[in-house]
Structure 1
Amino acid sequence: MTVRGLPDSAAAIEPITVCVPARDEVDRLPDLIADLRAQTGAPRMRVLILDDASTDGTGDAALEAVDDDPRFIVIRSDAEPEPGWTGKAAACARLAELVDTAVLIFLDADVRLAPGAIAAAVAELRGGTAALVSVWPRQDAGSTVEALVQPLLCWSWATTLPVTVANRSPRPSLAVACGQFLVFDTAAYRAAGGHAEVAASPTEDLDIARVVRRGGRRTALVTAGPLASTRMYRGAADVDAGYSRWLWSAYGGSPVAAAAVAAVAALAFQLPPLAALAGRGATRRAGLFGTAAAITARLLARSVETRTGLTRADILAALAHPLSIAAYTRLSARSHLAHRRGVLTWKSRPLPTTAGGSPT
């Protein structure tokens, strides 16, 4: 599970444009702006922030946080995405049209950055041959439900994919990406078609990485460690809404495949603890071994993600892995049901009901 991390210190001399799409992010965006204003090692950084038809005062909060910093431009928009586009893809595409630098970074409003994060991310892009570097922020949790679900994101790829090999592979199926922090060579982004190629995708980050690879360019996943973190969702309602909008698209959008995966996960990660508790002899020993293996994998994945020592919360979350699998199964079923009913929404907008890319 060795995964390359961002360098601890770096400098990025070339011009950089950071694009931040923000819809109803009044509580989070000011903190990101403060982090961006405090960046070091990136003296030619410019930041474009799109207030995407927010209803909570996001634009005003952004202007106040910017405080006349000339590196920042706040753009207000009341336009709704065109049919066949998600709001996120449409906002990213609009921001990208305004970029005139060779490096383009997309950041979500819920990301928190250490002072050298932007410079380190650009150095990672320029130090290799990838056209897209996807930076994986440490996923933080502030509630029990978040602690059950969020660690599964890193665990899912850290335990199933040799990332070092995948980063060198041109195969689209081996791409891993996190849309919270994407660093592009701008020319490669445009040559791939940009977000127009993933306009309707519920997982536009993963799909745009695949599009880049289909165009013959490499993508790479790196962990941010202490340089970037995020609390993606806040509480059970956010977790339900956030995962319901896209989990249906996993495994080709097939509910049968999703059910099969859930069944296998139950056998692999919920049956062993039951055997360890209720079984005897060889059955109990097998259950203990399976339970210990699952917990160890969770802890190793968390170490890969944080690049720091494990906390008490990390250990408790790993011990609760069977409950995490149950939570995932519930979210997957909820997502498929909402998709079948055609009631998928995100931030008060209806979502496309297909997993396709370009609407054209």
Structure 2
Amino acid sequence: MDLEFTWAWIALALAMFPASMGVVNLFLVRPPRGTPPEGSLVSILVPARNEAANIAACLDAALASRGVAVEVVVMDDGSTDATARIVQDYAAKDARVRLEVAPALPPGWTGKVHACARLAAAARGTHFLFIDADVRLAPEAAASMTGHAARTGTAMVTGVPRQAIGSLGEALTVPMINFLLFCYLPGGGRAFTRRPGMAAACGQLLLVEREGYFAAGGHEAVRGVLHDGLALARRMREHGLATEIVEGHGLATCRMYTNFRDSWAGFIKNAREGMATPVGLPIWTVMLAGAHLWPFVFLPRSAALLALALGFALRAAVTLRVREPWWTIPLHPLTVAMALAIQWVALVRGLMGKPAGWKGRAYGTV
């Protein structure tokens, strides 16, 4: 048995791991179901820093919510554009809208986490639905997520919105969110396990039950992180609370970035709290590159062809399921390579002591 033959079969084995997990998770992860309890009030909470281009459409979608009572609270986090004025105009017309102004950022906090903590303190609802300003909620989203939380006894319900992708730079970065969730997270973030290490969440669309949120310490307990959704999900599980990922493409739409530069910077920001660790990243590199890039080296061996076929089929299944553009599927190997490049750059920057940051703020080596 020659060496290339052996390595080709190793690549196939690495490809079979996400394929098998992906099939299971595509079955497990489902849309939320349930009716909100009587008296429910969902506080839709929006941290906003220089979001004048987004905030009006975000508010329009949130105020179109039906099936449950809502209030919409926006935290203006040091904006220098027209964000506050736009929200004030909405508040003057609709009593469900309130504008809050974040105080100066205290030491040890990251900006969005501080804004979310202040939002929770100001909220009146039985449930808090944290969304980003670039998220457009579907009319039934707040009601279905609240109903699901009540029906299942889950303290956190979260999902990945349908990702609107309009440029090559986005196509090479954004699709890895759902691909990793479905193909590399055991159980797909479902609540049948409360192990913190298997928790996951998407900060773009995250509903928490009020009492459970404060019992776990809320955002104050994760004040120094940049990836707030993941940290909060782990924190809640550490306190014995159930968290669950549901199918999110029918709940909201989000366009995270509009070009490669912003996509690169945004994913670099979160990488240090994900894969980009000295212990974890070499393992992730073997798993991802071995399954989705390595087989190209051993073409046309049958094991390599089968490994690539599995990878593309899996990517196609996830892409079609979450309603992302079909034309991103052929880019899959480049997307994997880009994801690994982002993680390695983030790791090296962290080891060199270069600060992480976002929207004009630097946070040291968090």
TM-score normalized by the length of structure 1:
0.88
Q: Tell whether 2:279 aligns with 1:297.
A: no
Distance 1:262 1:85 in 2: 31
> 2:239 & 2:258 partners in 1: Cα distance?
37
- Residue 265 of structure 1: CA displacement? 2.2
Q: Which of these residues, 114, 117, 124, is aligned with residue 93 of structure 1? A: 117
Which of the residues 331, 337, 348 maps onto 2:342? 331
Q: Deviations over 1:179-222 (max 9, x none)?
A: 11111110110010010111111222111111111111111110
Alignment-derived partner of residue 72 in structure 2 = 47
**Map of 1:4 onto structure 2:** 30
Q: Tell me the alpha carbon deviations over residues 102-159 of structure 1, each in whole angstroms, 9 at most, x when there is no partner.
A: 2111111111122211111111111111111112211221111111211111111201
How far apart are the structure 1 equivalents of 2:122 and 2:257?
29
Q: Secondary structure at the match of 2:100?
A: strand
| Structure 1 partner of 2:280 | 257
Q: In the alignment, which of 316, 331, 347 is matched to residue 320 of structure 1?
A: 331
In structure 2, give the amino acid aligned to 1:331: I
Q: How does 1:50-65 map to 2 (within 5 A)?
A: 50-65=75-90
CA distance in 1, matches of 2:80, 2:341: 31
With 261-270 and 218-227 compared, the bigger mean Cα shift is at 261-270
Paired residues of 1:248 and 1:255 also in contact (CA < 8 A): no
For the 8 Å contact 2:182–2:188, the answer to whether it is kept is no
One-letter identity of the residue aligned with 2:322: E
CA, structure 1 residues 178+165, in 2 after alignment: closer, same or farther (shift >3 Å)?
A: closer
1:154 and 2:178 aligned: yes
Q: CA deviation at 1:61?
A: 2.3
Q: Distance in 2 between matches of 1:66 and 1:272?
A: 56
Amino acid at match of 1:188: G
What does residue range 157-306 of structure 1 map to in structure 2 within 5 Å? 157-163=181-187, 166-251=190-275, 254-255=277-278, 257-276=280-299, 279=300, 283=301, 285-306=302-323
Which consecutive residues of structure 2, in runs of 5 or more, have no partner in the other structure? 1-24
Count of residues paired in the alignment: 338
> Does 1:30 find its partner at 2:56?
yes
More displaced 10-residue stretch of structure 1: 344-353 or 329-338? 329-338
1:65-112 per-residue CA deviation (whole Å, 9 max, x = no partner) reads 4552110001233x3321111101100011111123321111111111
CA contact (8 A) 1:4 1:164 kept: no
1:211-240 Cα offsets, whole Å, 9 max, x none, are 111111111110123231111122111111
Percent identity, aligned pairs only? 30
Partners of 1:80 and 1:87 within 8 A in 2: no
1:12 to 1:62, Cα distance in 2 relative to 1, 3 A: farther
Kindly provide the amino acid, as one letter, of the partner of residue 363 in structure 2.
L
Q: Write the distance in 2 (CA, Å) between the matches of 1:39 and 1:46.
A: 10
- TM-score scaled by length of structure 2: 0.86
Residue type of the partner of 2:230? L
Question: Does the CA contact (< 8 Å) of 1:140 and 1:150 recur in 2?
Answer: no
> Aligned pair in 2 of structure 1 residues 250, 37: CA closer, same or farther (>3 Å)?
closer
- How far the C-alpha of 1:165 sits from its partner, in A, is 7.6
Q: Aligned partners of 2:273, 2:188: CA distance in 1, in Å?
A: 26
- Which of 343, 355, 359 is equivalent to 1:343? 355
Tell me whether 1:16 sits opposite 2:42 in the alignment.
yes
Q: State how far apart, in whole Å, the 1-side matches of 2:116 and 2:188 are.
A: 28
The aligned residue for residue 357 of structure 1 is none
Task: Return the alpha-carbon distance in structure 2 between the equivalents of residues 26 and 225 of structure 1.
Answer: 25
For the 8 Å contact 1:6–1:121, the answer to whether it is kept is yes
Secondary structure in structure 2 of the residue aligned to 1:41: coil
Offset of 1:33 from its aligned partner? Answer: 0.3
CA drift at 1:250? 2.4
- How many angstroms apart in 1 are the aligned matches of 2:179 and 2:92? 40
Distance of aligned partners of 1:56 and 1:353 in 2 relative to their CA distance in 1, 3 Å threshold: same
| Partner deviation per Cα, 1:24-47 (whole Å, 9 max, x = no partner) | 1111111110101211212x2111
CA distance in structure 2 between the partners assigned to 1:104 and 1:199 by the alignment: 18
Shift of 1:162: 3.9
User: Are the aligned partners of 1:111 and 1:180 in contact in 2 as well (CA < 8 Å)?
Assistant: yes
* Contact 1:12-1:119 within 8 A present in 2 as well: no
The separation in 1 between residues aligned to 2:272 and 2:155, in whole angstroms, is: 29
* Letter in structure 1 aligned against 2:336: I
Is contact 2:173-2:264 (8 Å) kept?
Answer: no
2:7 is matched with: none
Distance 1:343 1:56 in 2: 25
CA distance in 2, matches of 1:104, 1:113: 14
How far apart are residue 344 of structure 1 and its match?
1.6
- Give the corresponding residue for 1:358: none
1:254-298 Cα deviation digits (max 9, x unpaired): 23531442244223211223433xx3xxx1x22221111001111
